[in-house]
Structure 1
Amino acid sequence: MIRSPRSSERISLGDVDLRLLRVFMTIVQCNGFSAAQASLGMSQATISTHMRHLEERLRVRLCERGRAGFFLTDEGQQIHAACRDLFGSIDRFRAAVGDTAGELSGQLSFGTVDAMVTNPRLNLDRAIGAFHRLAPRVTLEFNVAAPQVLSQGLLSGAYQVVLMPAPERVVNMRAQALFHETQKLYCGARHPLFAVPDAALKPALLAAQAFAGRTYMQRVPICGVDFDWQAATPHMEGTLILLLSGAYIGFLPDHYATAEVDRGRLRALAPDRMSFEDLFQIVHARQSPSRAAQALVRAIVEHCTAQPAG
C-alpha cells in the first residue's frame, strides 16, 4: 500500500499499479517521455496514457512535460523516492527467497557506464555469460547510466551491483578495484586542430577551443589546462558525436576512440601530455548482499584481465 501525498487515504497497489510505477521510474531515469521510448519499447502516446492513468490512480500530478522540459513536481519527487524504496525491497525479497531455498533466483539489478563493450581488459560479455550459466533462473536487469545515477541507485537499492569509475567513498558499500581506463584528448577531422602538430598544442591553444565535457565531471583544470566548457553530456557516445561534429575537443576512453581513429575521423591531441587514468571498481552492498549479487561480482572479477595491484 502507498499513501497519497495529498491525502491520508491509503491506496492499495495491484500488479497494474506496479507496472505503471515501473514506467514512471524509467521515465525519470531517462529524463523524459521521448527519451524513455526505447527503454520501454512504447510509443510516446502510450507512455503518456500510462502516466495519465497513474496520476489518476494516485490523485496527484507527478511531472510537468512540455516546451519547458521535463521535471518532477514536489509530489512526483516524493513518489519517486517511495518507488525506489519499494522496488529495492521487492528485489531484496526475491533474492532472500532464493537464498533461503538454496538456489540462485529472483531479480538482480546491475548498472554500469557506457562504452564498456570496447574495453578489451574487462571482458564483461564473458562475465555475464558465465554468470547466466551459473544462475539461469536469475533475471538480470542490466542498465547503462551516468556515474551519479549509479551511485544514487546503490544507496536507494535500485541497483545491487554497479561497475563504474571510483567515486568518493560510498557508505555501507564494498568496492573492489578492477582496472584503469586511459582517457585521451581528441578532436574530429573537421576541427582546426586536427592537422596541428603535437608540439604546437600548447595549453593556451587548447584552452581557447570549445570543450565538450561530461555532466558529472568537476569543471576544474584537466592535465593542467583550464578548458572552455561549451557542451556537456553524461555519455561517451554523446561526447563522440560532439567531437565528430568538428566543433569541440574532449576526452574519451582510448579503447572507445580507437575505431574512429583508425577510420581517420578522430585524432588524439598530444597524448603524451593530455591523458589521465580512471580507476574502475565493482561495488555492491556491504551488509548481506544476495548470493546472486556475489556470484555476478565474482564472475566480473574473474574475467577482468587488468586488475590493479592491491
Structure 2
Amino acid sequence: MINKVRHRVLNLSLGDAELRLLRVFASVVQYGGFSSAQTALGMTQATISTHMRHLEDRLGLRLCSRGRSGFLLTDEGRLVYEATLELFGSLEKFQSRVGEAQGELTGSLAFGTVDAMITNRDLDLQGALAAFHRQAPRVHLEIDVAAPQLLQQGLLSGGYQIVLMPSVGSVTPHFRTRPVFSEVQKLYCAQGHPLFGVADTAITTELLEAQSFAGRTYMLNETICGVNFRWAAATPHMEGTLLLLLSGAYIGFLPDHYAEEWVRSGRLRLLAPERMTFEDLFHIAHPRNKPSRAAETLARAIVDSVRTHR
C-alpha cells in the first residue's frame, strides 16, 4: 500500500492549485476535522469539503472519513499526510537556501501564538512583527492563533516553524524553547456572581472551593494557589474564559492585562488578589532541528520587543 500511495503522490502534478489542496488537507488533519479548521483556513465547511474531494479525485485515494465517530484518516490518508509534511518541509528548505544564497530572507514562515496577546503590557508583539517585516520583507508570514495543545501539535507535525505559548507540561524533550516573559494571572468573577459583593477578608479557601470554576483545557485539574477548585467548565482560550465569567455562573483566572478593561468598567471583580495570583511563563519554541533564518529573525524580534517595551 505504501508503494501505491507513493506512486499516486509522485504522479500528482504539483502546481499552485495542487499545493493549495494539500495545504487545506494538512490543516484539516492538524485541527482534527473540517469544522475545527474553518477559522484557520478562512473557509466554510462546504468549501473545505469541496477541496478535499478534488484532492481525493486527483490522487484516486480516499483520504479520510467523517461521521458520528468524528474525523478519521484512512491508512492512505495518513501516508499522504506524512508525504505532504515532507514536501512542505523540502519546499521551505529550498526557499530558505535560495534566499540565503541571494543574501536575503525569502519563503514562508508559519508562526503560532495563543490569544489575548495584544493587550499584554510586557510584550509589544505588534512591534516585533513590524521589526520582522523590516528585516525580512520578502518572507510570507502566516500567523495562527490557537490553543497551546494545537500549537504543540503543529510544531510536531511541521504546521508551525515557531510558536509563542505558555508552558504546557514538559515541552523540553520535543522542542527547543526559550523563556521570554511571565504573564500574571488573577482570579475574577462577574456581576451576578454570589462572590461579586463579598469582601476579600470573607473569601475563604472553603468558599472558593464551593464555587463553579472555569479552568483551562491544557491545565491539570490540581491545586492552584492552595485551592482545590471545583471544575465545572473548561476552555483553551482567554476569550472563552471571559465569556464564562461574564455569564455570572463561574469564577476563573485571566491575565490581568486582559481583564483590566472589564474591571475598570465594573463588569469583573478581582477576588483576593494578594492570595489568588500566579504567573504563566511564556516560551518561544521551535522544533529541535536548526531553525530557519526567518524563524531566528522573528524570535529575536519578539525577545527584543519584551526588553524594549518594559
Q: Which residue of 1 aligns with 2:234?
A: 232
Which residue identity does 1:255 align to in structure 2? H
Q: Which residue of 1 aligns with 2:151?
A: 150
SS in 2 for 1:303: helix
Residue 287 of structure 1: how far off its partner (Å): 4.1
Alpha-carbon distance in structure 2 between the residues aligned to 1:5 and 1:149: 31
Structure 1 regions of 5+ residues with no counterpart?
none
CA shift in 2, pair 1:243/1:64, >3 Å: same
C-alpha contact 2:113 2:144 (8 A) present in aligned 1: yes
Q: Which residue of 2 aligns with 1:10?
A: 8
Alpha-carbon distance in structure 2 between the residues aligned to 1:180 and 1:201: 27
Which residue identity does 1:10 align to in structure 2? R
Counterparts of 1:255-266 in structure 2 under 5 Å?
A: 255-266=257-268
Alpha-carbon distance in structure 1 between the residues aligned to 2:253 and 2:175: 29
Alpha-carbon distance in structure 1 between the residues aligned to 2:304 and 2:2: 46
Q: Which residue of 1 aligns with 2:222?
A: 220
Which residue identity does 1:83 align to in structure 2? T
Q: Which residue of 2 aligns with 1:121?
A: 122
Alpha-carbon distance in structure 2 between the residues aligned to 1:190 and 1:88: 51
Which residue identity does 1:300 align to in structure 2? I
SS in 2 for 1:232: strand
C-alpha contact 2:27 2:37 (8 A) present in aligned 1: yes
RMSD: 2.5
Alpha-carbon distance in structure 1 between the residues aligned to 2:6 and 2:94: 27
Q: Which residue of 2 aligns with 1:210?
A: 212
Residue 139 of structure 1: how far off its partner (Å): 0.5
Counterparts of 1:33-112 in structure 2 under 5 Å?
A: 33-58=34-59, 59-65=61-67, 68=68, 70-75=70-75, 76-112=77-113
CA shift in 2, pair 1:128/1:242, >3 Å: same
SS in 1 for 2:195: helix
Query: 1:277 and 2:279 equivalent?
Result: yes
Alpha-carbon distance in structure 1 between the residues aligned to 2:195 and 2:3: 55
C-alpha contact 1:178 1:306 (8 A) present in aligned 2: no
Alpha-carbon distance in structure 2 between the residues aligned to 1:41 and 1:8: 30
CA shift in 2, pair 1:30/1:8, >3 Å: closer
Alpha-carbon distance in structure 2 between the residues aligned to 1:199 and 1:83: 58
C-alpha contact 2:165 2:283 (8 A) present in aligned 1: yes
CA shift in 2, pair 1:219/1:80, >3 Å: farther
Residue 283 of structure 1: how far off its partner (Å): 2.1
CA shift in 2, pair 1:267/1:77, >3 Å: farther
Q: 1:253 aligns with which of 248, 252, 255?
A: 255
Residue 144 of structure 1: how far off its partner (Å): 1.2
C-alpha contact 1:160 1:285 (8 A) present in aligned 2: yes
SS in 1 for 2:163: strand
Residue 78 of structure 1: how far off its partner (Å): 4.6
Q: Which residue of 2 aligns with 1:182?
A: 184
Alpha-carbon distance in structure 1 between the residues aligned to 2:120 and 2:69: 35
Residue 286 of structure 1: how far off its partner (Å): 5.0
Residue 221 of structure 1: how far off its partner (Å): 1.2
Query: 1:301 and 2:303 equivalent?
Result: yes
Q: Which residue of 2 aligns with 1:244?
A: 246
Residue 34 of structure 1: how far off its partner (Å): 3.5
Structure 2 regions of 5+ residues with no counterpart?
none
Alpha-carbon distance in structure 2 between the residues aligned to 1:140 and 1:296: 10
C-alpha contact 1:4 1:10 (8 A) present in aligned 2: no
Q: Which residue of 2 aligns with 1:199?
A: 201
C-alpha contact 1:85 1:156 (8 A) present in aligned 2: no
- Percent of matched pairs sharing the same residue: 58
Given the two structures, how large is their TM-score scaled by the length of structure 1?
0.88
SS in 1 for 2:196: helix
* Number of corresponding residues: 304
CA shift in 2, pair 1:5/1:274, >3 Å: farther
Alpha-carbon distance in structure 2 between the residues aligned to 1:54 and 1:219: 42
Given the two structures, how large is their TM-score scaled by the length of structure 2?
0.88
Residue 232 of structure 1: how far off its partner (Å): 1.2
Q: Which residue of 1 aligns with 2:137?
A: 136
SS in 1 for 2:233: strand
Deviations 1:91-113 (A, max 9, x none): 23322221222211111111111
